[in-house]
């Protein structure tokens, strides 16, 4: 990464993704137990990102005062970013990201007395790798465990870093869907789910059930070398979370993904039967598949049942004129 990135939040995001990639590879090395000798050496952690001029138009984020700026591109290596060395080693690398694509070989120098080593991958790509001297097998395992632990920490930082944004987008999605349903039904709606449900949806998106979640799956995809061939990591996460938040709200109230289009067609045609509605929908959207069940779900979608029950319970509990004079 360049020393002073013009997009520090994007730079931190890339650093965390890189730490997750390195941590996963370190854990794989520990699990495989392929390195059994007790010789001293070094563990080198190669960077998973390099900041270079993008090969495509990335809009204003790639400019400062009208001057094009470096943006992050992914680096991958034939045997992973974590290398155990006791001599110089030639590595095969691949560059991918934002329209950039390149490959080649570079030499990682054996430098047991340094904490960093400069690696020249090509005439235009020079990176800095971390160096961890090790005295033997047990020391090597401790360092690999430390790198693996740092990867897990980075993963949690990625999740917590998007917690506020996820909750923000869920609240926005609640307003968007409520406005759609209110227009369709002709009644005012402040939201289709309440704050308690929004909190539950946020927890599901962030932490999920059974060890996986929407955000965790997005992180897993973000580790792929070619994921950012056309977009940068921040764009991938923000756009993805925005879409998943709206899906979560719609799923909570039983509104299918095609719900907005179905309601627009209904508003325009005022079809008297489901068959008429579906025929008109298929005429306008011939590539879509729409069954009666989904069409009916779109027309009847409304506030979440649990939300409605809590609202009525609160009204009953408070009672009319509660706290006022009789």
- pLDDT (tens digit per residue) in 151-210: 999 999 999 999 999 999 999 999 999 999 999 999 999 999 999 999 999 999 999 977
Total-model pTM:
0.89
- Per DSSP, what are the bridge partners of residue 128? 118
Q: In angstroms, rounded to a whole number, what is the distance separating the alpha carbons of residues 82 and 18? A: 11
Which two tokens mark 159? 């999740």
Sign of the torsion formed by the C-alpha atoms of 287, 288, 292 and 295: negative
Summarize pLDDT for 282-312 with one digit per residue, the tens. 999 999 999 999 999 999 999 987 666 655 5
Summarize pLDDT for 229-244 with one digit per residue, the tens. 999 999 999 999 999 9
pLDDT of residue 179: 96
User: How many Cβ atoms from other residues are within 10 Å of residue 168's Cβ?
Assistant: 15
Q: In angstroms, rounded to a whole number, what is the distance separating the alpha carbons of residues 194 and 303? A: 9
Q: In angstroms, rounded to a whole number, what is the distance separating the alpha carbons of residues 224 and 96? A: 10
**Parallel, antiparallel, or unpaired: how do β-strands 126-134 and 63-64 relate?**
unpaired
Q: Cβ distance 95 to 50 under 8 Å? A: yes
pLDDT of residue 325: 43
Q: In angstroms, rounded to a whole number, what is the distance separating the alpha carbons of residues 205 and 163? A: 9
Side-chain-side CA neighbours of residue 29 (13 Å): 27
Q: Output the average pLDDT for the chain.
A: 92
pLDDT at 225 over 80: yes
Cβ density class 279-309: b for 16+ within 10 Å, e for less: eebeeeeeeeebeeebbebbbebbbbeebee
pLDDT of residue 324: 45
């Amino acid at each position: 990464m360049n020393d002073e990135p013009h997009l520090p939040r994007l730079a931190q995001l890339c650093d965390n993704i890189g730490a997750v990639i390195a941590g996963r590879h370190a854990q794989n090395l520990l699990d495989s137990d392929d390195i059994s000798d007790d010789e001293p050496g070094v563990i080198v952690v190669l960077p998973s990102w390099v900041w270079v001029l993008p090969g495509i138009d990335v809009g204003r984020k790639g400019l400062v005062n009208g001057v094009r700026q470096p943006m992050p591109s992914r680096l991958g290596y034939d045997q992973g970013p974590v290398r155990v060395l006791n001599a110089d080693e030639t590595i095969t690398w691949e560059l991918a990201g934002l329209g950039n694509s390149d490959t080649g070989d570079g030499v990682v120098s054996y430098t047991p007395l340094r904490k960093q080593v400069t690696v020249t991958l090509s005439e235009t790509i020079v990176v800095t790798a971390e160096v961890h001297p090790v005295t033997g097998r047990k020391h090597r395992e401790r360092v690999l465990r430390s790198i693996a632990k740092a990867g897990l920490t980075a993963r949690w930082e990625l999740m917590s870093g998007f917690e506020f944004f996820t909750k923000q987008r869920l609240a926005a999605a609640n307003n968007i869907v409520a406005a759609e349903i209110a227009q369709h039904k002709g009644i005012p709606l402040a939201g289709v789910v309440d704050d308690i449900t929004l909190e539950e949806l946020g927890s599901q998106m962030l932490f999920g059930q059974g060890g996986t979640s929407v955000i965790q799956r997005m992180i897993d995809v973000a580790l792929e070398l070619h994921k950012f061939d056309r977009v940068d990591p921040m764009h991938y996460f923000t756009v993805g979370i925005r879409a998943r938040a709206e899906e979560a709200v719609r799923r909570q109230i039983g509104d299918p993904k095609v719900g907005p289009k179905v309601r627009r067609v209904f508003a325009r045609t005022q079809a008297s039967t489901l068959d008429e509605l579906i025929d008109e929908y298929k005429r306008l959207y011939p590539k879509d598949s729409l069954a009666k069940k989904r069409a009916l779900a779109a027309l009847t979608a409304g506030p979440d049942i649990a939300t409605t029950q809590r609202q009525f319970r609160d009204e009953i509990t408070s009672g009319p004129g509660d706290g006022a004079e009789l």
